[in-house]
């Protein structure tokens, strides 16, 4: 709630308004959902977390780009750009994947796969990471951020599309861990220890839960 120079940002109204609206919508939605539809809600809420991390990365990169344009200094931002890119990629994959998982659970999205899809997914992921690495090296190429955003969203869709409904709990748990890691990136950006700790806890717990679920269901994590 304070700028770096110690002055108040005067944004209390926006903060508490967002908390109130989100709290009311979340409470009403949770009360109305049936227990059999609870996995759908978990997937939907998890996707919202990924979307938040994605939007934070976009906003902070725009702030950084504006600062670079005003000062003409592009050096010294490597660590910040790296965290932004990681948050963008992981958050986008979690958001898109969670939305497809939500659609599969409520029957609105059908399984879809084709020959060579795993190879195509790996190519998409490799290109996305390569573009992200180049953007970290040269943050002045700001248009790359939106290309990375689009490819990350597409990868999230393709990642979940071929997975059957019986394996959705494992996928949702994995995506939940992604959201935690993306939130931790936001904690690094804002130097917010609560956000950082919460993100790490969610990421670690989600990863452990995914591994345990794979063992219980006699599945291999490599399948996903």
pLDDT in tens, 100-126: 999 888 888 887 777 878 888 889 899
Burial of 154 per CB tally in 10 Å (0-12, 13-18, 19+): middle
Burial 28-41 (b: 16+ CB within 10 A, else e): eeeeeeeeeeebbb
Query: Shortest CA distance to 67 belongs to which of 127, 4, 150, 131?
Result: 4
| Token pair recorded at residue 40 | 């759908």
Say what the pLDDT of residue 8 is: 60
Please, which residues bridge with residue 8 across strands?
Answer: 2
Q: What is the pTM of this model?
A: 0.86
Say what the pLDDT of residue 221 is: 66
Q: What is the pLDDT of residues 16-45, one digit of tens each?
A: 898 899 899 888 888 888 887 788 888 888
Per-chain mean pLDDT for the chain: 85
Residue 89 makes CB contacts below 8 A (sequence gap 6+) with: 128, 129, 132, 148, 152
Question: Who has greater pLDDT, 90 or 141?
Answer: 90
**Does the pLDDT at position 61 exceed 50?**
yes
**Does the pLDDT at position 1 exceed 50?**
no
CB 134 within 8 A of CB 86: no
**Does the pLDDT at position 2 exceed 50?**
no
Query: Shortest CA distance to 53 belongs to which of 158, 175, 206, 223?
Result: 175
């Amino acid at each position: 709630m304070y700028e770096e120079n110690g002055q108040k940002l005067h944004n209390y109204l926006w903060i508490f308004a967002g908390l109130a609206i989100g709290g009311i919508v979340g409470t009403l939605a949770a009360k109305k959902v049936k227990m059999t539809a609870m996995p759908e809600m978990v997937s939907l809420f998890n996707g919202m977390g990924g979307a938040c991390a994605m939007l934070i990365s976009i906003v902070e990169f725009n702030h950084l780009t504006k600062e670079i344009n005003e000062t003409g200094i592009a050096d010294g931002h490597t660590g910040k750009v790296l965290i932004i890119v990681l948050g963008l990629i992981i958050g986008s994959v979690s958001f898109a994947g969670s939305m497809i998982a939500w659609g599969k659970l409520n029957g609105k999205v059908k399984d879809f796969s084709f020959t060579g899809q795993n190879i195509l997914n790996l190519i998409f992921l490799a290109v996305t990471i390569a573009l992200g690495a180049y953007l970290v090296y040269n943050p002045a190429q700001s248009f790359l951020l939106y290309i990375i955003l689009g490819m990350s969203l597409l990868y999230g869709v393709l990642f979940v599309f071929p997975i059957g409904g019986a394996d959705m709990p494992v996928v949702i748990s994995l995506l939940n861990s992604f959201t935690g890691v993306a939130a931790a990136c936001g904690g690094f950006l804002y130097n917010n220890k609560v956000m950082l700790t919460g993100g790490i806890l969610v990421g670690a717990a989600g990863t452990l839960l995914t591994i345990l679920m794979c063992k219980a269901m006699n599945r291999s994590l490599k399948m996903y």
